[in-house]
Chain A
Amino acid sequence: MIDSILKSAIERRYLFVSMVLVVVGLGVWSYRELPIDAVPDITNIQVQINTEAPGYSPLETEQRITYPVETALAGLPNLAYTRSLSRYGLSQVTVVFEEGTDLYFARSLINERLGAISSILPNGLEPEMGPISTGLGEIFMYTVSAEPGAVDDTGRPYDAVALREIQDWIIKPQLSLVPGVIEVNSIGGYDKQYHVTPFPEKLLAHDLSIDSVVDALRRNNENRGAGFVETGGQQILVRSQGQLTSIGDIAQVVIAIPHGNPIRVSDVAEVAIGRELRSGAATQDGHETVLGTAMMLVGENSRTVAAAVAEKLSEVRTTLPAGIVLDSVYTRTSLVDKTIATVRTNLLEGALLVIAVLMLLLGNWRAALITAAVIPLAMLATMFGMVRTGVSANLMSLGALDFGLIVDGAVIIVENATRRLALAQKTNGGLLPLRQRLDVVYDATREVIKPSLFGVAIITVVYIPIFALTGIEGKMFHPMAATVVIALTSAMLFSLTVVPAAVALFMNGRVAERESRAIQLAKRAYEPALKQLLKVRWVVLSGALAVVTSAAWLATTLGAEFIPQLDEGDLTIQAIRIPGTGLEQSVQMQKKVEAAINSFPEVETTFARIGTPEVATDPMPPSIADGFVILKERDDWPDPDKSKHELIEQMEDVLRDVPGNNYEFTQPIQMRFNELISGVRSDLGVKIFGDDLDELNRIGAEVLEVLEATPGAADTRVEQLTGLPMMTVIPKRVALARYGLTVEELQDMVAASFGGEEAGLIYEGDRRFKLAVRLPEELRQDLYRMGSLPLALPGGGYVPLSEVAEPVLAPAPNQVSRENGKRRIVVTANVRDRDLGSFVADVQDRIAANVTLPPGYWLNYGGTFEQLESATQRLSIVVPITLALVLGLLLMGVGNLRDSLVIFSGVPFALTGGVLALWLRDMPLSISAGVGFIALSGIAVLNGLVMVTFIRQIWRDGLDLAESVMRGALTRLRPVLMTALVASLGFVPMALNTTTGAEVQRPLATVVIGGIISSTILTLVVLPLLFQWVNKGNRAR
């Protein structure tokens, strides 16, 4: 079949070459469709269901909201698991689906289930699904602030309420319209509210209650349509207007008319613009601000969406009141541009190097151009393939593309064709007639097509184990493997079709038989060296063995790392404070943290989200702040060579002196991934499931003790469920009854006094603001006097709160965590100086012996050890199978086991070079490096295959063994050197680059370059020796 394809490619060369245009067209179209981002999206398929429940404590939230929502979701198709969080005022259920589930399908299923439980949930609470976005979704952030001295139209300076109003009603509606933006989330400032704050003693004086104020406001704040009348042929609409529009209006509302004297709101209360009880705040450079975050719809192109948001923002600026500053503080565009620029430079420089090498070694510019043409073609075809398979272009997916590898197949074919054409022209004594030229090309291609196809097939096959990775590793590396496989396959197709056709079409001039000077020099050095080495065969072979063994030992001394982290350029510093820290306290502490960060000259700006934003995409308690640090361009640093690591260390030093905070240094995207994936991130997590929180805490403490006592345990911790200070008002039922009060009346009263009671909306044009009734701030704050708060009695008169209820202050659950519909607590530990497997087994034994679980409670072991175990298990099956597959392919290619094994010996030798290169550059082993090793095995085999096939061919043609080895090695010197040089040079820019994103590609490129150097030495030196040795005494077959 291959022959017939080749034949038709050469015969119908015009057709085949013009097919290139189709590829170009498809490629260009794909480029426009291709989603581009900085890193692959590792978020699992999940839907967040947030229910805001103002005033609900964690326990009530769990009981009334989380539980019904979870129960409703049980048994959804493709459901992987659910987990939930019940906090003050917020229930969040996260539903994770099996990989491959359609997100929109999942959401519509959830929507259906949520509709069914709306009657079960407390009145007025509405579960909402989080935005259709992923960990890469937060693409743009901006702050809204006022210039010093700026005043609004009433002449007052803008405050946090006014800024939030501008964000909510001017900026957000405009940004929400940008295509690709699914949500604009706000945090910081205060929602504007109209507050009516009645004084208890004034209410008592008139025998009124807070309820009566609320009622009065509700009854006096409505517009009604009243139909129409037709008069004189004209239709006139009738309406009655009653909406309150201003503070003056509200103050004039009459609450009651005892003895004919109207009592107005202003008689018993103050009316003012007030502040909501907020759950989140934002700061920038040491002062409070309002922070907006644009979130991208899943699957959109982050670069274009972020750019569109930025553009819209500059439009929005013109619509803002004078003195309001809209500052874009974070945009994904810059990161994506930088990383894509890195990838592009790497690819371009690699491609240029490859072309230069081809020119130099082939000594024929037409041949070099034909080979080089495979690079853009394969690239375009790859883009088409990526669009079809839904792989996005990013650092990881494009990071392993080596144009050297891609052109390998073409190099071998073109090289052979050039050589054969030159030979034929020499025998013919001039240019060949067309027919003869086509035949020569056909023969030359046929001669090497099999080994080169097999070689490429082998390189492709070795990427298969990568597809066996699951979870986060899988999501990181599948795109890479997919891209490489697509690129190699398309290059293979081109080598089979377009390349021979182009050679037949364009190589019609004179082909110099003389080899290029570089090759001549190389041959002159290689021949005597090989002769000498053949004499001291045993020394060479044992030397090689020694090198491989020592490299194997060296590999064990290299450090290990998961994935080299992409340097996003910016930092996030999470400041974590003790549970129970109030929001305002947290804001004050964050201001100090920011002042410390700003003292670094490298910092452009820093801003933070504290607590939970409006849409609870990240439900943090007020005690935690996500601080973003935007760094200046490196050129603007006092010391542009300072490493980021150094900067972080210095920051840690300075921040350690800011009291009351713990810090976690990450990066924006990385942090978001962590938040969304949010499983157990330690080596071992013991999850305890059960009903009673106290009991769970008790068992958690016991398990913690067991873990601490187990040798090898480090960083042991128990999840903090408790620690929220709570004032519980416990009704005295008998006393209540004596005063004619019900528990509900008491609760309403307490809720209205402290939390406030909503009494309607105030409309200002399009804008609408809540009208709330609650106690004056100084009374609300004074918990000491809570007991003397007067409660109005139904028949007039009052009673102090302490008479009918007992306020008790006690720590209460901070949050209730649930998983798969059951309350749980997690105890985590990392393992040091001990292997994970035996540690886990030990822990399981110890827990079984020392911890007795009451009925209805059970344990579950999780953590990264699980993934590690499953990955190890999977790889220990897949890797041998792959190696066997490679060997099988070799067997098919060369037809005998002995030769296959000889070729296969290239694999350990190639790996040796990779290990050495890592060691030289002081790099740890990582999955990226591992992928490099995988690619290496393929490349090593390709060269050996070409060499061995050729030697055997000559040998079969009648020469004796030693002569064949010598002749074969010399003839194949050029292609081997070429493939090796192009493959390694293609990676050189990647290995040396230091711009944004290079750190992810660097280990891979380093491994490949080192490995190719060692495997080339093997192919040129050890392989001929080995071949001669194993075939000694045999006859050519």
Chain B
Amino acid sequence: MKWKQQVALVCLALAFGGPAWAAGDDHEDEHEDEPITTISPEVAKDHGIVTDHVGPATLRRTVKTYGRVVVPSSRISHIRARFGGLITDVAVDVGDTVKAGDLLATVEANTSLKQYQIKAPINGLVTQRHANAGEFADEQALLTLVDASELWVELRVFEGQLTDISTGQIVTISSATQRTDSVIQTILPSMDEHPFVIARTHINNSTGVWGPGMFVEGDVVVEETEIPLAIRTSGLQTMGDELGVFVQEGDRYEFKPLSIGRSDGRISEVLNGAASGTQYVAGNSFLIKADIEKSNVEDDH
């Protein structure tokens, strides 16, 4: 995650404000010129320069993970005959919904030749049937019951993401068509020496729109805090090798280097460099940078 702390901010500034970089670190003279420009309000408006002030905001950082929907192990039941014997009757078929205690099948035990009933241990849906009247029930599972009213999502969390993710975090689960919020309940190591761990969450499937085996995306909210001093990341630009924003005072725009803390891509935390209420350029900030640095460029193509 280290690279993100330092680099992601800049990536974001790039993605929003257009790629920008200083004219080169070897340009000592650059700093002699004050990084200031003036632009009249009409021109600024015409060019889509948008300002905002430094102030409190909610920082919401997410990590993207992928995983599959699985049936909780407590909600799947493979029904077997307790005593081997002849199946005399099967009461349910694949697709039937059963309640706990409902009759599923009747078996005549080999040892006692007495018939006994097999009853549903859980609520659920009959998903498999390997039993018919007249067949011999032995070790095999006769019926499979699945209760899919609540499902697990097992998200794969890789090493680099692990430091950010913990139980109790909110995660947005989305498939191609569905979307729901949930909470990470457990984090457990993956089986088979896979290089990732599993973050497990529950989703409610009472409506039946989710199905086991579905591939889903999980956006885990790893951080959601109120920060007192925040700026929009689209306002960040680099001048020389410093990161900062352009502070607006009337038609004057001045570059203020900032020290930046956390960021969620949308907003960034100001640790130092600007007071609350400072008016800064949040939209099309690249234009201000271009205007200030333009005296350093010439056509040398």
Instruction: Verify B63–A788 contact, CB threshold 8 A.
Output: yes
- B291 an interface residue at 8 Å Cβ cutoff? yes
Min Cβ gap A280→B in Å is 13
Min Cβ gap A279→B in Å is 13
- B209 an interface residue at 8 Å Cβ cutoff? no
What number of A-B contacts does a CB cutoff of 8 Å give?
Answer: 165
Min Cβ gap B212→A in Å is 13
Q: Looking at the complex, which of A24-32, A132-140, A201-209, A460-468 is the stretch in contact with chain B?
A: A201-209
Which residues in window 199-256 of B have CB below 8 A to A?
Answer: 214-217
Residues of B within 8 A of A784 (CB): 8, 11-12, 15, 265
- B301 an interface residue at 8 Å Cβ cutoff? yes
Partner of A725, one of B14, B39, B214, B298: B14
Residues of B within 8 A of A738 (CB): 195
Instruction: Verify B18–A722 contact, CB threshold 8 A.
Output: no
A residues apposed to B, CB below 8 Å: 85, 201-202, 204-205, 574, 576-582, 584-585, 588-589, 592, 619-621, 623-624, 657-662, 664, 675, 697-698, 700-701, 708, 717-725, 727, 738-739, 781-788, 790, 797-800, 802-803, 806-809, 811, 815, 826
Contact flag A576-B298 (CB < 8 Å), given A657-B40, A697-B24, A784-B8: yes
Residues of B within 8 A of A701 (CB): 26-28
A657 to B41, alpha carbons, bound, how many Å? 11
Residue of B whose beta carbon sits closest to that of A618 = B301
Instruction: Verify A787–B298 contact, CB threshold 8 A.
Output: no
Partner of B161, one of A202, A620, A798, A800: A800
Contact flag A725-B20 (CB < 8 Å), given A578-B297, A659-B291, A799-B158: yes
- B183 an interface residue at 8 Å Cβ cutoff? no
Question: Which 9 pairs across A and B sit closest by C-beta, in order of nearness?
Answer: A205-B215, A660-B290, A659-B291, A783-B11, A788-B64, A585-B18, A701-B26, A784-B265, A811-B21
- B87 an interface residue at 8 Å Cβ cutoff? no
- B148 an interface residue at 8 Å Cβ cutoff? no
Min Cβ gap A790→B in Å is 6
Partner of B301, one of A578, A620, A698, A739: A620
Instruction: Verify A803–B159 contact, CB threshold 8 A.
Output: yes
Partner of B298, one of A585, A621, A717, A797: A717
Residue of B whose beta carbon sits closest to that of A207 = B215
Most A C-beta atoms less than 10 A away, residue of B21, B156, B298 = B21
Min Cβ gap B231→A in Å is 16
Instruction: Verify A790–B66 contact, CB threshold 8 A.
Output: yes
Residue of B whose beta carbon sits closest to that of A583 = B18
Main secondary structure of the interface of B (DSSP, over half): mixed
Which residues in window 24-49 of B have CB below 8 A to A?
Answer: 24-29, 37, 39-40, 43, 46-48
Most B C-beta atoms less than 10 A away, residue of A659, A718, A790 = A659
Min Cβ gap B190→A in Å is 11
Residues of B within 8 A of A723 (CB): 21-24
Residues of A within 8 A of B18 (CB): 581-582, 584-585
Q: Looking at the complex, which of B51-59, B99-107, B120-128, B281-289 is the stretch in contact with chain A?
A: B281-289
Residues of A within 8 A of B29 (CB): 708
Instruction: Verify B159–A577 contact, CB threshold 8 A.
Output: no
Residues of A within 8 A of B215 (CB): 201-202, 204-205
Instruction: Verify B37–A659 contact, CB threshold 8 A.
Output: yes
A708 to B286, alpha carbons, bound, how many Å? 30
Min Cβ gap A62→B in Å is 15
Most A C-beta atoms less than 10 A away, residue of B4, B12, B265, B298 = B298
Contact flag A662-B11 (CB < 8 Å), given A577-B290, A580-B21: no
Q: Given A725-B14, A738-B195, 13 other A-B contacts at CB below 8 A?
A: A201-B216, A578-B289, A578-B297, A580-B21, A698-B26, A720-B24, A723-B22, A785-B64, A787-B4, A800-B160, A808-B7, A809-B7, A809-B14
Instruction: Verify A581–B290 contact, CB threshold 8 A.
Output: yes
Min Cβ gap B196→A in Å is 8
B residues apposed to A, CB below 8 Å: 3-4, 7-8, 10-12, 14-15, 18-29, 37, 39-40, 43, 46-48, 63-64, 66, 156, 158-161, 176, 194-195, 214-217, 265, 286-291, 293-301
A9 to B255, alpha carbons, bound, how many Å? 86
Residue of B whose beta carbon sits closest to that of A87 = B301
Partner of A800, one of B158, B214, B288, B301: B158
Min Cβ gap B247→A in Å is 16
Min Cβ gap A824→B in Å is 12
Residues of B within 8 A of A708 (CB): 29
Residues of B within 8 A of A662 (CB): 294-295, 297-298
Instruction: Verify A85–B301 contact, CB threshold 8 A.
Output: yes
Complex A-B: 29 CB contacts under 8 Å = A201-B66, A202-B215, A205-B214, A205-B215, A576-B298, A577-B294, A578-B23, A578-B290, A578-B296, A579-B23, A588-B48, A657-B43, A659-B39, A659-B287, A659-B288, A659-B290, A660-B287, A660-B290, A662-B295, A675-B301, A722-B25, A725-B21, A786-B11, A788-B64, A799-B158, A800-B160, A807-B7, A811-B21, A811-B24
Instruction: Verify A720–B300 contact, CB threshold 8 A.
Output: yes
Min Cβ gap A706→B in Å is 13
Min Cβ gap A611→B in Å is 11
Residues of B within 8 A of A201 (CB): 66, 176, 215-217
A657 to B14, alpha carbons, bound, how many Å? 25
Residues of A within 8 A of B299 (CB): 574, 576, 624, 664
A323 to B300, alpha carbons, bound, how many Å? 40
Contact flag A700-B11 (CB < 8 Å), given A579-B297, A662-B298, A788-B64: no
A803 to B158, alpha carbons, bound, how many Å? 7
Partner of A727, one of B4, B11, B291, B297: B11
A799 to B291, alpha carbons, bound, how many Å? 42
A624 to B300, alpha carbons, bound, how many Å? 10
A800 to B3, alpha carbons, bound, how many Å? 14
Residues of A within 8 A of B43 (CB): 657-659
A698 to B298, alpha carbons, bound, how many Å? 20
Residue of A whose beta carbon sits closest to that of B11 = A783
Instruction: Verify A697–B40 contact, CB threshold 8 A.
Output: no
Partner of A577, one of B27, B158, B297: B297
Residues of A within 8 A of B216 (CB): 201
A896 to B27, alpha carbons, bound, how many Å? 68
Partner of B176, one of A202, A717, A724, A785: A202
Min Cβ gap B36→A in Å is 13
Min Cβ gap B154→A in Å is 13
Contact flag A802-B14 (CB < 8 Å), given A784-B265, A811-B24: no
A719 to B286, alpha carbons, bound, how many Å? 23
Instruction: Verify A724–B21 contact, CB threshold 8 A.
Output: yes
Instruction: Verify A580–B287 contact, CB threshold 8 A.
Output: no
Contact flag A576-B294 (CB < 8 Å), given A620-B301, A624-B301, A803-B160: yes
Residues of A within 8 A of B298 (CB): 576, 662, 717
Residues of A within 8 A of B21 (CB): 579-580, 723-725, 811
Residue of A whose beta carbon sits closest to that of B264 = A784
Min Cβ gap A840→B in Å is 21
Residues of A within 8 A of B10 (CB): 809
Residue of B whose beta carbon sits closest to that of A582 = B18
Residue of B whose beta carbon sits closest to that of A724 = B21
A719 to B23, alpha carbons, bound, how many Å? 10
Residues of B within 8 A of A782 (CB): 15
Partner of A739, one of B64, B195, B296: B195
Instruction: Verify B3–A807 contact, CB threshold 8 A.
Output: yes
Instruction: Verify A809–B15 contact, CB threshold 8 A.
Output: no
Residues of A within 8 A of B63 (CB): 788
